[in-house]
Amino acid sequence: MVSTEAARTAVGIIGNIICLFFYLSPVPTFVRIWKKRSVEQYIAFPYLAALINCLAWTIYGLPMVQPGSIPVLTISAAGVAVESVYVVLFFIFSDKRKRLKVLLILLVGLSFNALLGCLVLTLVHTHKKRSKIVGIICASFSVLMNFSPLAVMKLVITTKSVEFMPFYLSFASFVNNAAWVIYALLRFDSFVLIPNGLGLLFGLTQLILHAVYSKSTKELMAARKGPKGKEVDLSDDVVAEEPPKKIIGIITPENGPDSDNH
């Protein structure tokens, strides 16, 4: 009979594979950004949050912090590498004001994680205390990251279009969070369970929005085509005129192609 620990390891490996595909799922989005030389209405915060979050989870997965969490360590380190590439591309194809915001958030996140790692490893001397301190911070970061799709979901509801909320990203998020919920339940880990349970709920919500607005998205995209199939600018017709705002530190997009808070 397979032991719980063996099952947990197996699920962790599966979670690593799924999570890697999740990290790679925005590649088509960044191919589009590369081709158009513009970030358009895409939002930087999910990628910045993911990078900062992965750095924190890398610390959590270290054997000297939380023994037996190698799957968490490996996928978090991979996430740091992948998300770094996304942030660099976002930085390159943003204007100066957006670049400054990206840079400031990144510097704050990097400084915080560096300080966290140094203090925990030098001043705290037991695995239990280290994992509790870092785990609480990691869970908080993950919850914050999982709230970032709210800005995109609001845009979807406002414009009745899922064009800027790719289906593959929503689906990958749902499957990824489901795998890590199972991982956390096999050997109960509340720090892994809480953020991934929340992410599972948000992923399901995004899939529902795709089902509701997929038809209207096709109609809006077709309406942007000119007589010869050339795109015309109908952004004023499909985007609500609402000023930008921040919700719990989350950068939300200002409507329109010239947004400062993408």
Say how far apart CA 113 and CA 161 lie, in whole Å.
37
pLDDT level of residue 132 (50, 70, 90 thresholds): very high
pLDDT level of residue 116 (50, 70, 90 thresholds): very high
Say how far apart CA 149 and CA 219 lie, in whole Å.
23
Say how far apart CA 19 and CA 28 lie, in whole Å.
17
The secondary structure of the chain in percent helix, strand, coil, rounded to multiples of 5, reads: 70, 0, 25
pLDDT in tens, 179-230: 889 999 988 888 999 999 998 998 899 999 988 888 787 777 777 775 555 5
Q: Are 261 and 41 in contact (CB under 8 A)?
A: no
pLDDT level of residue 142 (50, 70, 90 thresholds): confident
pLDDT at residue 155 is higher than 90: no
Phi-psi category of 217—alpha, beta or left, where left has phi over 0 and alpha has psi -120 to 50?
alpha
Say how far apart CA 102 and CA 12 lie, in whole Å.
32
Say how far apart CA 188 and CA 186 lie, in whole Å.
6
pLDDT in tens, 35-92: 988 888 788 888 888 898 899 999 999 999 998 889 999 999 999 999 999 999 999 9
